[in-house]
Structure 1
Amino acid sequence: MTVDEIVYRTDLPAPPDRPHSFEYFISIHNDTDCAVTIKGRKWVIRDDRDGVVAVEGDGVVGEMPTIEPGNKFSYNSRHILDHGWAVAEGSYIGIDANGRKVLTRIPKFKMTVPDE
């Protein structure tokens, strides 16, 4: 699993109370010897004001991709902030072709609003 890129985006719509958009690009790699289907995810996002948000859900960006051995599934999504910075981390939950649970950690990455 890699965080391929994090981009601060001023051209994406955002609500006035959270005007700072970050787009992130992620690849989930299957380094096992059998197919893995991603069934869900859990994110924990902490900000510079000690705020914590947990986000859980089925699949990834509306899909439950099956990743064959040696392949990867890449996607992009975004997060919006009102100020400062936030650190995101979490995990993907999958099931392999043999019915075993697979947990893949999402390493911490930081989104920092540029100086205003």
Structure 2
Amino acid sequence: MYSATTRSIAVTVTPTYLEDQSSPAEGRYVWAYQVRLENKGDLTVQLRSRYWKITDALGRVQEVRGPGVVGEQPVLEPGGEYEYTSGCPLTTPSGIMEGSYQMVDDLGDRFDVQIPAFSLDSPHQARSLN
């Protein structure tokens, strides 16, 4: 589990390797990641858009931007929570994801909320002792 808090918005991410959807022999590795957002502040906020930076084990970077998450632009009242699950395929057995959510509060202020960097690890990643 990975967590970060920005302006009273807590983001927790839990990645899971999906063995049944992966095919290492074909260079396909798939993860699900569950995200939980918690509004620990005093203002209502809405998630407007997302930005992801996905880096595979070879250092190749893919950037993803778009409105909302999983087709929604959730509103979080003070004390409110929102959870969703999404996925990420890679051609390498490991990688890293990080990013941000663009939010707006009920006063009209726009701000970015950090998504903590999290590791995508599979049991197929070669390990070495240093």
TM-score where L is the length of structure 2: 0.80
Deviations 1:29-59 (A, max 9, x none): 1122111010000000111211000000001
Q: Does 1:101 align with 2:71?
A: no
Query: Structure 1: which amino acid aligns with 2:74?
Result: P
Which runs of no fewer than 5 residues in structure 1 stay unpaired?
none
Q: Distance in 1 between matches of 2:28 and 2:68?
A: 27
> Which residue matches 1:72?
81
Matched, 1:91 2:100: yes
Q: Find the aligned partners of 2:17 and 2:43 in 1 and give their Cα distance.
A: 36
Matches of 2:62 and 2:91, distance apart in 1: 14
Q: 2:50 & 2:27 partners in 1: Cα distance?
A: 24
Q: Which residue identity lines up with residue 89 of structure 2 in the other structure?
A: I
Instruction: Report the number of matched residues.
Output: 114
- Counterpart of 2:46 in structure 1 is 37
- The answer (yes or no) to whether the contact 1:83–1:113 under 8 Å persists in 2 is no
Q: Which structure dedicates a bigger proportion of its chain to helix?
A: 2
Where does residue 62 of structure 2 map in the other structure? 53
TM-score calculated relative to the size of structure 1: 0.89
Q: Which amino acid aligns with 2:12?
A: T
Matched residue type, 2:65: E
Q: Equivalent residue of 1:11, what SS?
A: helix
Q: % of aligned pairs identical?
A: 32
Counterpart secondary structure, 2:20:
coil
Q: Would the alpha carbon gap of residues 84 and 10 (structure 1) be closer, same or farther in structure 2, given more than 3 Å must change? A: closer
The RMSD of aligned alpha carbons is: 1.8
Structure 2 unpaired stretches of 5+: 1-10, 126-130
1:6 to 15, 33, 38: 15
Distance in structure 2 (CA, Å) of the matches to 1:113 and 1:88 = 14
1:10, CA displacement in angstroms? 2.3
